[in-house]
Amino acid sequence: MNKMTFSDVILTCFDCKGTFVFSAGEQAFFASKALSPPKRCPTCRRQRKQTIVPDVNSWPHNNTLSPINDTSVNGGSK
């Protein structure tokens, strides 16, 4: 069986242009999932994720906005 070996690599972040380590363990994980190497450092990835997927705990939990509870959708009956 052909087992791949990995060693730590220094990458440059696409956003901040800083460098970060893409560890051997991370490389093995990415390879096992057939993922491309990261383009962003952990800090920029975290910031990007926050802008794309906001924290669900900060969403308003107002069920009156749900179509299930909207009487105009179901004709006023439940």
pLDDT single digits (tens) 56-75: 666 565 555 555 555 555 55
- Which residue would you say has higher pLDDT here, 10 or 76? 10
Please state, in angstroms and as integers, the Cα–Cα distance from residue 50 to each residue in 12, 23, 29, 36, 61, following that order: 21, 24, 23, 21, 19
CB 40 within 8 A of CB 13: yes
* Cα(17)–Cα(41) distance, integer angstroms: 9
Distance CA 62, CA 67 (A): 12
pLDDT tens digit sequence for 18-49: 999 999 999 999 999 999 999 999 999 999 99
35: which DSSP letter?
A: P
Cα–Cα dist 69/78, whole Å: 8
Main-chain phi, psi angles of 39, to 5 degrees: -95, -15
Greater pLDDT, 52 or 15: 15
